[in-house]
Amino acid sequence: MAVSLGINDIKELTSLMHDKLGYPFHELSTSFMKRRLSLFFDKLFIKTKERFIEQLDNELFLKSVLYNIPVETTELFRDPGFWRVLNNKFLSSNLLAPDSVWFPDVSSGEELYSFQILNKGINHNNETTIYYNHPSNARLDEIKTGIINNKNIETHDNNFKRLELESEFSDFCHIHNGSTLINEILLEHLVPCKGWFLNTPNEPVSMIIFRNTMLYLSKPLQEKVAQVMYETLKPGGILTIGIKEPLPENIIDKMEIVDEQERIFKKPGSLV
């Protein structure tokens, strides 16, 4: 039987998680944290709130929380229209191809691999540095292996076909010991960053891909994250968010809209 958590329970648990781990769980939306906490309770066979609180003193349990908290992306090239626009307007242009890209919330690698297939595999932008964040060291290491979910190969392939490119998805992956892996050359210049979306790279970047995460944040945290990203972008840099997500008011007036439908924005200035 699933554990029933009320709003006060969620506030108590997320506050304790913040105290133990330092991440802003208490500033994520209540509905999001209710779903994630329910996942923990079911996956780890925890029957009561009190037992969960006890486990917060267990280092292995805390590592499991960090490993599982972000929502996994299950598809490569999810929302093919976005990837088509990103490729046509930026990645295929010698003038606009980014030299550094930041993924503040790479939950399971698919967004990063999608980008690298287009940026490095299709357009041969070989010197782009890719920074990617996750609060779990174990997940960071997994992402760098390039392993993708075999169960969704047909979905990956269908999404890729919708990009209307001359290549085939199979050109960019291979089978090893029964697993499907992204080709090793696409995993070069990856820089894993322990931490979540407020932990920025050590240098300004020319592109930030932060899709489908903003909707999980409280409004104050949305504004804080948007400000951090604005400051991390180089003049002329590109910020992308999810197609159903708003860009907070404290930043929207400072950005130029590149593609309103696909939620692509540009910081005023020039990369060149």
How far from 49 is each of 5, 45, 111, 142, 225, CA to CA, in Å?
8, 12, 34, 30, 30
Mean pLDDT of 76-105: 91
Predicted confidence band of residue 211 (pLDDT cuts 50, 70, 90): very high
For the entire predicted model, the pTM comes to 0.93
By C-alpha distance, which of 68, 13, 73, 3 is closest to 36? 68
> Which pLDDT belongs to residue 200?
93
The two tokens of residue 83 are: 């990837």
> Which pLDDT belongs to residue 2?
62
**Do the Cβ atoms of 205 and 237 come closer than 8 Å?**
yes
How far from 92 is each of 17, 86, 89, 213, 233, CA to CA, in Å?
43, 9, 7, 26, 20
Mean pLDDT of 244-266: 91
pLDDT digits (tens, 9 = 90+) for 143-184: 999 999 888 899 999 999 999 999 999 999 998 888 899 999
Burial 135-168 (b: 16+ CB within 10 A, else e): bbeebbeebeebbbbeebeeebeebbeebebeee
Q: Are strands 264-266 and 256-259 parallel, antiparallel or unpaired?
A: antiparallel
pLDDT digits (tens, 9 = 90+) for 218-242: 999 999 999 999 999 999 999 999 9
The two tokens of residue 168 are: 């085939």
Q: In this structure, is the dihedral angle defined by the CA atoms of residues 210, 267, 83 and 97, taken in order, positive or negative? A: negative
Domains for the chain: give ranges and CATH numbers. Answer: 7-68 (no CATH), 80-266 (3.40.50.150)
> Which pLDDT belongs to residue 1?
46
Q: In this structure, is the dihedral angle defined by the CA atoms of residues 207, 211, 216 and 222, taken in order, positive or negative? A: positive
Mean pLDDT of 83-101: 88
Residue 171, phi then psi, degrees to nearest 5: -70, -15
C-alpha 113, offset from chain centre: 11
Q: What is the average pLDDT score of the chain?
A: 91
Mean pLDDT of 250-256: 91
Cβ-in-10-Å burial (0-12, 13-18, 19+) of 209 comes to buried
> Which pLDDT belongs to residue 179?
87
Which amino acid would we find at residue 160? F
